[in-house]
Amino acid sequence: MTSTLYLTRNGLLEPLGQSQVLAYLRGLSRDYRITLITYEKDEDWADRQRVLRQHEECNRLGICWLPQRFRPRPKVIAPALSMLRMVWLVRREVRAQGARLIHARSYIPAAVAMIVSRLTGVPFIFDMRALWPEELITARRLRRGSLLHRAIAATERACLQRARAVVSLTHAAVDHLARVYPEHVVWQKITVIPTCADLDRFVSAGEAPPRRVIGCLGTVLSGWFRLDWLASFLSAAATCDEDAVFELTTRDDPAPVRAALDPDGQLGDRLQIAPSAPEDVQKVLQGQTASVMFYAGGEISELGRSPTRMAEILGCGLPVVANEGVGDVARIIRAHRVGVLAAGAEPEAMAAAWSELTALLQDPGLSARCRKAAEEVFSLDSGTAAYARVYEQVLEDKRACAA
C-alpha cells in the first residue's frame, strides 16, 4: 500500500478529531498506509484509558498514530515553536515511512507540509477547512492589515499555489479565493468536500421526546458563535413554551456560558450545560427536538464554514435553527426544508423563528426529510470516496511528472 502522512493540529481524542479526521481515515486506511500526527490537549491526554483505546483502534486500522502535546501559550510564540518542531517531525516521518503524499489539515500543517515538500519532493494536499485568517479577524484575534495578518495571507497564497491539490468546505469559499487570488487558484485542483458525518451512527431515535428539548452542540465561546443570538432565542422559546427545556452539549466552561445565556437565572434548571464523550454525541441528539447554531453570518470568514454539527443533527432527523450568511447552510435549509432561519437577534425576530419552528415540527415528514438531506449532502461514504479520488489524482500526477 502507498504510504501517506496525515498532519493536523487538532486532537484525535477531541470530538472534531473523531468526526472529521478518524472518520475519514477509517475508510482511507483500507488502501493507504497512514501515519497520523495530531496535537492533543492536556485534558484529553490525561485520560490514559482513552489514549490506550485510541492507540488500539489505530493499530487495528493499520494507522501509525503519533500524538503530540498541544501547547497554546504563549500566543504566537507557541504556534511558531510548534511549527518548527512539526517540520522536523514531518520530515523525519516522511523519510522513515517512505511517504508519497502529505495530507495537511488547515493552515499551519499546510505551511509545514509546503516546507517539507520543498525539501523532499513529496507532494502535499492543502485541506483548507474554513478560511482561517478571516475567522481570526472575525473572532478579533487578528487585525486586518497587521504584520501577522500579512504573513498568514502570504502563507495562504503560497500554499494555494504550491499544493498539488486543495480541498475546500464550500463553493462560496472557492469563489472568494478566486476573487482574492485569481492568479494563484488553479481550478482543476480544488475539490469541495463539506464536513461529513457517519450516518450509520447518527440516526433518528424514531420517537420524539415527550416535551420539546432544544439543543446546541459544540463550542459557543469560540468568538465566532453568536452567543447573544442564542440567548435571545432561548429566552423567546422559554416564554412561548413553558415546558421546553434546553441542552447545551459543550466542553466550554459552563459558568461564563450560563452567565451569558441566563444572567437573571430565569431559565434555572431548564438550561443544562454539560460536555459529552464523542462516542455519546448521537445519544444526546436523539433525545432532542431541534438544534440551534448561530454563527457570525455575513462575515467573509463564514463563506468557508460547513458546520460539523449540521451533518450530525440532520443525520439524527432533527431540524436546525440557524442564520443567513454561513457557507451553504441557508441554501441547504431552504432547498430541503429542514429548519428555520432567524432574521435577527431582536425578541420579535426570535419569537417569529420559534413560531416557525413550532409549525415545522408539526410536519410528519420532517424527520425523514432531515435524514434524506444529510444523506445527500453530508454522507461520510461519499466524502471518503472524494478524498480517495484526490489522493489518487495527486499520486497519478506525481507519477506523470516523474515519467
- Direct distance between the N- and C-terminal alpha carbons of the chain, in angstroms, rounded to an integer: 21
| Higher per-residue pLDDT: 284 or 182 | 284
Which CATH number does the domain housing residue 360 bear?
3.40.50.2000
Do 266 and 370 belong to one domain? Answer: yes
Local structure of 166: helix, strand or coil: strand
The answer to whether residue 202 is domain-embedded is no
- Nearest-5° angle of CA 112, CA 27, CA 54? 70
Specify the residue for cell string 505551511: 111
201 falls within a domain = no
Model confidence at 277, pLDDT cuts 50, 70, 90, reads confident
Same domain membership, residue 385 and residue 273: no
- Assess whether 52 and 150 both reside in one domain: yes
Mean pLDDT across the chain: 92
> Given pLDDT bands bounded at 50, 70 and 90, which one contains residue 25?
very high
Provide the pLDDT confidence category of residue 186 given band limits of 50, 70 and 90. low
One domain for residues 246 and 125: no
Q: What is the dihedral of CA 161, 162, 168, 174, to 10 degrees?
A: 10
Please report the pLDDT score of residue 222 as a whole number: 80
Q: What is the pLDDT of residue 139?
A: 79
Do 180 and 313 lie in one domain? The reply is no
**pLDDT tier for residue 383 given thresholds of 50, 70 and 90:** very high
Q: What is the pLDDT of residues 195-232, one digit of tens each?
A: 998 899 999 988 878 889 999 999 999 877 999 999 99
Band (105; pLDDT cuts 50, 70, 90): very high
pLDDT band at 140 (very low <50, low <70, confident <90, very high): confident
User: For 350-381, how does the pLDDT look when each residue is reduced to its tens digit (9 = 90+)?
Assistant: 999 999 999 999 999 999 999 999 999 999 99
pLDDT reading at 403 higher than 70: no
pLDDT reading at 63 higher than 90: yes
- Identify the three-state secondary structure at position 38: strand
pTM: 0.81
Looking at the structure, do residues 398 and 371 belong to the same domain, yes or no? no
Residues 47, 129 within the same domain = yes
Q: Do 168 and 287 have their domain in common?
A: no
Amino acid at 148: L
Q: In this structure, is the dihedral angle defined by the CA atoms of residues 52, 57, 60 and 65, taken in order, positive or negative?
A: negative
In a domain, 128, yes or no: yes
- Greatest extent of the chain over all pairs of C-alpha atoms, in Å: 71
Q: Is residue 204 part of a domain?
A: no
With a pLDDT cut of 90, the percent of the chain lying above it is 74
Range of the domain at 143: 2-196+380-402
Q: Distance between CA atoms of 169 and 23, rounded to whole angstroms? A: 16
Cα 61 to Cα 10, 22, 36: the distances in Å are 20, 10, 12
- H-assigned helices in 139-240: 147-162, 171-180, 227-240
Task: Supply the DSSP string of 373-394, one letter for each residue.
Answer: HHHHH-BHHHHHHHHHHHHHHH
Inside any domain, residue 286: yes
Percent of the chain with pLDDT over 70: 98
State the Cα–Cα distance between residues 50 and 65, nearest whole angstrom: 14
In whole angstroms, what is the distance from residue 219 CA to residue 252 CA? 6
Residue range 223-268, pLDDT digits in tens: 779 999 999 999 999 999 999 999 999 999 999 999 999 999 999 9
Looking at the structure, tell me whether residues 361 and 398 fall in a common domain: no
Per-residue confidence band for 397, with pLDDT thresholds at 50, 70 and 90: confident
Q: Which of 170, 104, 193, 172 is nearest to 383 (CA)?
A: 193
State the total domains in the chain.
2
Q: Confidence band (pLDDT; 50, 70, 90) for 76?
A: low
Q: Are residues 269 and 287 in the same domain?
A: yes
Which cell numbers in the block locate residue 131?
478560511
Q: Are residues 280 and 350 in the same domain?
A: yes
Q: Cα 157–158–164 angle (5° rounding)?
A: 110
Q: Indicate whether 250 and 384 sit together in one domain.
A: no
More confident: 403 or 207:
207
